């Protein structure tokens, strides 16, 4: 009898160990682990809907604040789906850290706007072609200036020098927000000066560094990401760098609090950044089949609509976009027209660019 009990116990332990290795929870479901940006998913809608559609899976969500903070986490964690920006996806492809996607299992990806594939995301045509083999667009956004229209005059034009001027104006000391994200903040300075967002020209980078270091000491901006939205809604920040979706979120919060949402406005300068956050599967993912199911599910019209309305960022899903409020759908800050779209620039990623910009940003953050 003791031998039978021992054998039974051993069998149970072996099954439990196998389930753990396979990423199963205590209820026998396989875990699908999503690693995405903070406040970037209507989890109250998506999680139960996904688990109802795929009862064999349990969706778990972990979040990050920017691409550079996400990147080192991939070394020691096995996520099934990650949602980095386009330039970071290309870096991960170069480093052989992603798997090419099986699009026969992601049929809903066909709902996405094909025009996004016409944007040049990498100067190397071979790498540019690979981007959409390894990743599916989730949301896209532009980078512009969010400002309190009661306190800051509207830009005279969409010229970068007009739009970004408040960031460097000492009259707004301690009331400016800068993203704790090197590409956005350095990019705003480069765009303001009339330079490309991916420049490696030493003189242009030095000019941007001088401008940013002077701003750090003279304007004394608040540096953050998600916390900046709270400061804008509370009226503590008068202007700052913003992803287009953050502007929508802040307006919604103002309206929910009984305030005028039009108090916060968003201006998109020519030549600023357009960025696509993309769903992809790391090579060390434990549940590839579950990952592909989740990506496909997030591309369905109803779920894409729920997420874009919750998050405020621009959806690539054409059917979901058609169902948006016309005031949002027809706003060029969120869905730019062809001329403005052609002026916008993605961020390029290379060892030289990443290292150079990281060194500049480290200097900026070191200034008290």
Q: What integer pLDDT is reported at residue 332 of this predicted model?
A: 79
Instruction: Check whether residue 178 and residue 92 sit in a common domain.
Output: no
For the chain, give the percent of residues with pLDDT over 70: 93
Q: Binning pLDDT at 50, 70 and 90, where does residue 226 land?
A: confident
Same domain for 239 and 208: yes
In this structure, the answer to whether residues 215 and 239 fall within a common structural domain is yes
Per-residue pLDDT tens for 90-102? 999 999 999 999 9
Q: Are residues 114 and 215 in the same domain?
A: no
Q: Helix H segments across the chain?
A: 2-21, 43-53, 67-73, 86-94, 125-134, 160-163, 182-192, 202-218, 226-233, 244-256, 288-298, 301-311, 318-322, 326-329, 338-343, 351-366
Looking at the structure, tell me whether residues 230 and 110 fall in a common domain: no
Query: What are the tens digits of pLDDT across the range 293-306?
Result: 999 999 999 999 99
What would the pLDDT profile of 334-357 be if each residue is shown by its tens digit? 888 778 878 889 999 888 998 999
17 and 101 in a single domain? The answer is yes
Q: What is the pLDDT of residue 24?
A: 63
Are 309 and 181 within one domain? no
Would the pLDDT of 312 be above 60?
yes
Same domain, 355 and 210: yes
pLDDT at residue 23 greater than cutoff 80: no
What's the CA gap between 94 and 74, in Å, rounded?
15
b (16+ CB within 10 A) / e for 216-227: beebebbbbbee
pLDDT of residue 94: 93
Residue 58 sits in a domain whose CATH number is: 3.40.190.10
Q: Is 43 left (phi over 0), alpha (psi -120 to 50) or beta?
A: alpha
Domain membership flag for residue 169: yes
Residue 14 has pLDDT above 50, yes or no: no
* Mean of pLDDT over the chain: 91
Sorting pLDDT into bands at 50, 70 and 90, what band is 311?
A: confident
Instruction: Write the pLDDT tens digit of every residue in 154-197.
Output: 999 999 999 999 999 999 999 999 999 899 999 999 999 999 99
Q: What is the pLDDT of residue 342?
A: 81
Residue 148 lies in a domain: yes
Say whether pLDDT at 135 is over 70.
yes
- Domain annotation covers residue 355: yes
Domain hosting residue 317, numbered range: 2-139+277-325
Q: What are phi and psi of 257, to 5 degrees?
A: -90, 10
Residue 296 lies in a domain: yes
Residues 33 and 94 in one domain: yes
What is the average pLDDT across 221-244? 93
Task: Answer whether 186's CB lies under 8 Å from 212's CB.
Answer: yes
The pTM of this model reads 0.75
In a domain, 333, yes or no: no
303, 268: one domain: no
Q: What is the pLDDT of residue 10?
A: 37
> Which pLDDT score, from 0 to 100, does residue 154 have?
96
168 in a structural domain: yes
- Looking at the structure, tell me whether residues 174 and 135 fall in a common domain: no
Query: What are the structure tokens assigned to 73, written together?
Result: 């986490």
Decide if pLDDT at 327 tops 90. no
Give the model confidence (pLDDT) of 42-79 as tens digits. 999 999 999 999 999 999 999 998 898 999 999 999 99
Q: Specify if 332 maps to a domain.
A: no
Q: Is the pLDDT of residue 3 over 60?
A: no
Residues 362 and 312 in one domain: no
How many domains in the chain?
2
Q: What contacts 24, CB < 8 A, 6 or more positions away?
A: 30, 31
Evaluate whether residue 341 is within a structural domain: no
């Amino acid at each position: 009898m003791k031998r039978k009990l021992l054998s039974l116990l051993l069998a149970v332990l072996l099954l439990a160990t196998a389930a753990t290795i396979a990423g199963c929870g205590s209820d026998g479901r396989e875990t699908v682990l999503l690693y995405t940006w903070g406040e970037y998913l209507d989890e109250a809608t998506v999680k139960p809907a996904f688990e109802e559609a795929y009862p064999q899976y349990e969706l778990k969500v972990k979040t990050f604040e920017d691409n550079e903070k996400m990147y080192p986490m991939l070394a020691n964690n096995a996520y099934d789906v990650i949602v980095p920006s386009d330039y970071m996806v290309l870096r991960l492809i170069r480093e052989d850290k992603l798997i090419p996607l099986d699009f026969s299992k992601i049929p809903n990806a066909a709902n996405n706007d094909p025009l996004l594939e016409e944007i040049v995301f990498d100067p190397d045509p071979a790498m540019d072609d690979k981007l959409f083999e390894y990743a599916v667009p989730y949301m896209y956004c532009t980078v512009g200036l969010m400002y309190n229209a009661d306190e800051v005059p509207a830009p005279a034009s969409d010229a970068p020098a007009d739009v970004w001027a408040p960031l460097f104006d000492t009259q707004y000391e301690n009331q400016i927000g800068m993203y704790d994200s090197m590409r956005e903040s350095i990019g705003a300075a480069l765009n303001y000066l009339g330079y490309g967002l991916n420049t490696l020209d030493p003189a242009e980078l030095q000019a941007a560094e001088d401008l940013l270091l002077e701003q750090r000491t003279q304007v004394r901006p608040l540096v953050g990401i998600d916390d900046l939205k709270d400061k804008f809604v509370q009226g503590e920040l008068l202007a700052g760098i913003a992803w287009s979706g953050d502007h929508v979120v802040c307006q919604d919060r103002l309206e929910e609090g009984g305030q005028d949402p039009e108090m916060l406005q968003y201006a998109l300068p020519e030549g600023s950044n357009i960025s696509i956050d993309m769903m992809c599967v790391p090579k060390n993912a434990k549940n590839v089949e579950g990952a592909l199911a989740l990506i496909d599910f997030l591309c369905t019209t109803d779920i894409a609509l729920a997420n874009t309305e919750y998050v405020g960022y621009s959806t690539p899903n054409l059917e979901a976009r058609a169902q948006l409020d016309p005031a949002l759908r027809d706003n060029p800050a969120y869905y730019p027209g062809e001329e403005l779209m052609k002026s916008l620039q993605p961020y390029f990623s290379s060892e030289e660019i990443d290292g150079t910009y990281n060194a500049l940003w480290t200097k900026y953050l070191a200034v008290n």
